Amino acid sequence: MTPVWLPDWRDARAYPDVDAPLKEWRWQFLRRRADYQAEFCALSLDGAHKIADIPHRAAPGDLSEGPFRAWLQKKAPPGLVAKYGAQYLLDPACPRPLGQREEGAQCDVIADLDRQRKAMDEDHYAVTFDLRGSIKEQIAAARAVLSAEAKRRGFGTGRNIRAHWPRHLSVLDAVAAGASDADIADAFGTDYSVTAKWPALARKVQAKLTAPTGS
């Protein structure tokens, strides 16, 4: 069943800007996973609590604010914590990642280099080196970590860059709404043979962005 909260996939204004924080993008892809939606509904209310959605003013001097909402979060058992990287699962109908960690919970078993790395902000990443160890080996490991992290955040080149993320979301919504490949091709004004590959690509990006940090 198509979630009632899904936006009109033909409306580009219904999707985040490409410069939105990674936390926002991760949530938008996660809430569209059918398994996440089903498992949230199946969780009991034991340990559940509400997260306040306090509206912000649209512009300086604008005193108008939207209605107050409170969204339910349910405590996740260990299996779902490992699967989604979150101690609590937020209602997928919530439009923003309220109360969610920036990049998901760290997995229990991670490499030594992963323990040393630090996300400074959206565009920067720090890695600590052990001067008593092999610098050459650490540089090679750091290069691999930084390259993977840049791709995960949508920087660099390739099909996973952020410029494509809004399209991936709209394609996922189009498929959920029952749109055909021909419908999608017509809406985006592209060749049918190319558009037919988009759903699979969107799901790959979805899986990558919603994997717990450190997995």
Judge contact between 122 and 153, C-beta under 8 A: yes
Q: Are residues 193 and 166 in the same domain?
A: yes
Joined tokens for residue 53: 């959605």
Residue 8 lies in a domain: no
Cα Dmax for the chain: 60
Distance (Å, rounded) from C-alpha 159 to C-alpha 206? Answer: 12
Q: Are residues 52 and 82 in the same domain?
A: yes
**pLDDT of res. 150:** 67
For residues 71 and 91, membership in a common domain is answered with: yes
Residues 88 and 114 both lie in one domain: no
Pick the closest to residue 30 from 158, 215, 203 (CA basis).
203
The number of angstroms, rounded, from the C-alpha of 19 to the middle of its chain's C-alpha atoms is 13
Domain with 167 in it: 159-210
Question: pLDDT at position 110, please?
Answer: 31
Q: Which stretches of the chain drop beneath a pLDDT of 70?
A: 55-67, 101-123, 150-152, 154-160, 213-215
Q: How many CB atoms lie within 10 A of CB 169?
A: 23
Identify the pLDDT of residue 105: 36
User: Structure pTM?
Assistant: 0.75
Nearest to 95 by CA among 41, 51, 161: 51
